[in-house]
Structure 1
Amino acid sequence: MASNAPAPGTDDPLGIHGVVPPTVTAFHDDETVDYEATAAHARFVVEGGAHGVFPLGTNGEFALLSGEERDRVVRAVVEEVGDDVPVIAGVGAPSTRRTVARAEAAADAGADGIVVVTPFYYPLDGAGAVEHYRRVCDAVDLPTYVYHIPSKTGNSLALDTVAELAEIPGLVGVKDSSKDVPWLGQAIDDHPALTFLSGSDSLLFPGLEVGCAGMVSAVANAFPELVVDLFEAYDAGDEDRAQELQSQVYDVRSALKRGPYMAGVKAALSLQGFDAGPLRSPLRRMDAADEAALELELRELGLLDG
């Protein structure tokens, strides 16, 4: 458990902390889900030192999967690594009914907790958000974490709404990808009973500094040891080393952003011999030129063998 790193919230029975990668969903060439490879990727990050896994986040392409596919992904990941680390499954959807259905399926699959992105597409006010999360928490007896990513959902949570959410039994944490550090710092200060997770690779070290107990890192999907080393250096009190590693994460993050949106992680995995297949359309893989440039950058950073 953490020593120098911030502690998880006192309301969080899972004590989520450290590095929790948002694991990928692997596909066959025809874009059908490869459940075996999806589970193998969860094993890959756990063997790299991850403290938990978060299937069906943004990197898991959850919005492009059917309900049945999502349920099977959760089950596959739980069966592979659920005895080793906490599995907190993404269950969010635009409607409350669909979110509850996915939450119930995740509970049946044995997930340890659920991550609920704010409903998206339609505008949502504070009262609607509170009612949404209350109904989800009433439906399942699982620790529930809010996923706050207004750049993708179009819906941000005001601090007074977070205060109301914190009163819902079963709601135990927030994964914040807003990149709004003042918002995050104040939310952490106001709610010590909640666990906060930094949701951007640009804010791993800064997130720890303002009170996040852990980090949901896309870089950790491809290079888990790098991000685990950052967290463990910080936890051991070596903040200078943690800052150095954050600088390296910035370089890796920039390299992974080459080419189409979100293509970098699967390309980097492929360069390490792990085939997670294509992204599901309309997302797409890097072309050969971009992948060659990525390989060169990652070799220069010392992250590829040979």
Structure 2
Amino acid sequence: MSLTAPLHGVVPPVCTPLDSQGEVDTSSLARLVEHLVAGGVHGLFALGSTSEVAYLTDEQRSTALETVVNVADGRVPVLAGVIDTTTPRVVEHARSAAELGADALVATAPFYTRTHGKEIAQHFRRLRAAVDLPLFAYDIPVAVHSKLSAALVRELAEDGTLAGLKDSSGDEGGLRRLLVELGGRDGRKEGPAPRFSVLTGSELTVDAALLAGVDGVVPGIGNVDPAGYVRLYDAARAGNWALAAKEQERLVELFGMVDVGPEADMGRSSSALGSFKAALHLLGIIECGDTAFPQIRLNAESVGLVAQRLRAAGLPPVR
């Protein structure tokens, strides 16, 4: 389908269900896509961090993206993560994503080696020139060790290189400064980049970000409760900030599942991704809660804590 510009609403980063052998479980992934679309989401982001993109082979990336595109079947736009270390590798992923039917691309700055702002600008411009799809920048300095400045983002928005930005920096002040740079809450439509879309990846402060002027959210836990984030978004759009805050607070409690894995046994990413997959398994959406190797799977006690969070949020497990 044609990508709505600017992109708005709830665009979950789609988990990648795996089978017991570590391969992409396309049947479970298809059910997950249907679960998200039924929840009213406005788009799907395949092959992002929550999709475990960094752990997947190129063949697995293609399998996952092709499945998401085919099952979505034009009902919502599909954004494809083309995340890799260097520009030539990112361009290869972008060309593959275009062939598989993605509606837009999502890329980080180059990483492994540190890059200057001018090099980052060249990276995004070359990618946009190589593949004629809307391009979204993914600002996630914890992973790539570069923070996209507001001035750089504005420059790339104004010249048409970027169609939008997913902000996963965790820097709420920086996000607000970017919105002001782009024209402010009430001036975005007439600002320097009126068709530029800003999406927050900070799922715990979505109501505040929407009040500040972002266009939408990319919530990892939106895999588990997409309808909850849609209700939050709809309430905010209607100006019902009390209802938006109430829904946000419920989702904050649900999000507590990301810490169920014991810190002595696993990293925080393993715990978070494992909790999402455990929840999806408990809800009967995916068959297996395994995360990609070498991440450690949640133990039975941790899965039990996930089940408690689900019930408290009004999402009773079926398993």
TM-score normalized with structure 2 length: 0.88
Report the equivalent of 1:204: 206
Mapped contact 1:88–1:111 kept (Cα < 8 A)? yes
Is 2:45 the partner of 1:54?
Answer: yes
Q: Distance in 2 between matches of 1:300 and 1:169?
A: 45
Deviation at 1:302, TM superposition (A): 2.1
In structure 2, the CA distance between the partners of 1:267 and 1:305, relative to structure 1 (3 Å rule), is closer
Deviation at 1:27, TM superposition (A): 0.7
Deviation at 1:165, TM superposition (A): 2.1
Q: Distance in 2 between matches of 1:128 and 1:276?
A: 43
Deviation at 1:68, TM superposition (A): 2.4
Report the equivalent of 1:101: 92
Report the equivalent of 1:272: 283
Q: Please tell me the residue identity of whatever aligns with 2:199.
A: L
How many percent identity over aligned positions? 34
Q: Distance in 2 between matches of 1:162 and 1:245?
A: 31
Q: Distance in 2 between matches of 1:84 and 1:46?
A: 8
Q: Distance in 1 between matches of 2:159 and 2:22?
A: 39
SS in 1 for 2:46: coil
Residues 192-227 of structure 1: per-residue CA shift (max 9 Å, x gap): 322000101122111101111100011210111111
Report the equivalent of 1:185: 176
Q: Distance in 2 between matches of 1:165 and 1:122?
A: 22
In structure 2, the CA distance between the partners of 1:21 and 1:276, relative to structure 1 (3 Å rule), is farther
Of 222, 230, 236 in structure 1, the residue corresponding to residue 224 of structure 2 is 222
Deviation at 1:18, TM superposition (A): 0.8
Deviation at 1:189, TM superposition (A): 2.0
SS in 2 for 1:279: coil
Mapped contact 1:14–1:86 kept (Cα < 8 A)? no
Report the equivalent of 1:139: 130
Give the alignment of 1:1-306 within 5 angstroms.
13-191=4-182, 192=188, 193=193, 194-259=196-261, 260-275=271-286, 277=288, 278-304=290-316
SS in 1 for 2:107: strand
Q: Distance in 1 between matches of 2:131 and 2:221?
A: 31
Mapped contact 1:147–1:174 kept (Cα < 8 A)? yes
Q: Distance in 1 between matches of 2:154 and 2:4?
A: 19
Residues 126-152 of structure 1: per-residue CA shift (max 9 Å, x gap): 011101000100011111100001112
Residues 158-195 of structure 1: per-residue CA shift (max 9 Å, x gap): 22222332244341100001121121112122223220
Q: Please tell me the residue identity of whatever aligns with 1:258.
A: V
Q: Please tell me the residue identity of whatever aligns with 2:134.
A: P
The count of corresponding residues between Structure 1 and Structure 2 is 295
> In terms of mean alpha carbon deviation, does 57-66 or 71-80 score higher?
71-80
Q: Distance in 2 between matches of 1:117 and 1:290?
A: 32
Residue ranges of structure 2 left out of the alignment (5+ in a row): 183-187, 262-270
Q: Distance in 1 between matches of 2:272 and 2:204?
A: 17
Q: Distance in 1 between matches of 2:62 and 2:309?
A: 36
SS in 2 for 1:201: coil
Q: Distance in 1 between matches of 2:294 and 2:21?
A: 13
Residue ranges of structure 1 left out of the alignment (5+ in a row): 1-11
Deviation at 1:305, TM superposition (A): 5.5
Mapped contact 1:113–1:142 kept (Cα < 8 A)? yes
Q: Distance in 2 between matches of 1:65 and 1:235?
A: 37
Deviation at 1:113, TM superposition (A): 0.6
Deviation at 1:71, TM superposition (A): 2.1
SS in 2 for 1:292: helix
Deviation at 1:42, TM superposition (A): 1.7
RMSD (Å), alpha carbons: 1.6
Q: Please tell me the residue identity of whatever aligns with 1:158.
A: S
Q: Distance in 1 between matches of 2:291 and 2:159?
A: 36
Report the equivalent of 1:6: none
Deviation at 1:62, TM superposition (A): 0.4
Q: Distance in 1 between matches of 2:121 and 2:74?
A: 32
Report the equivalent of 2:266: none
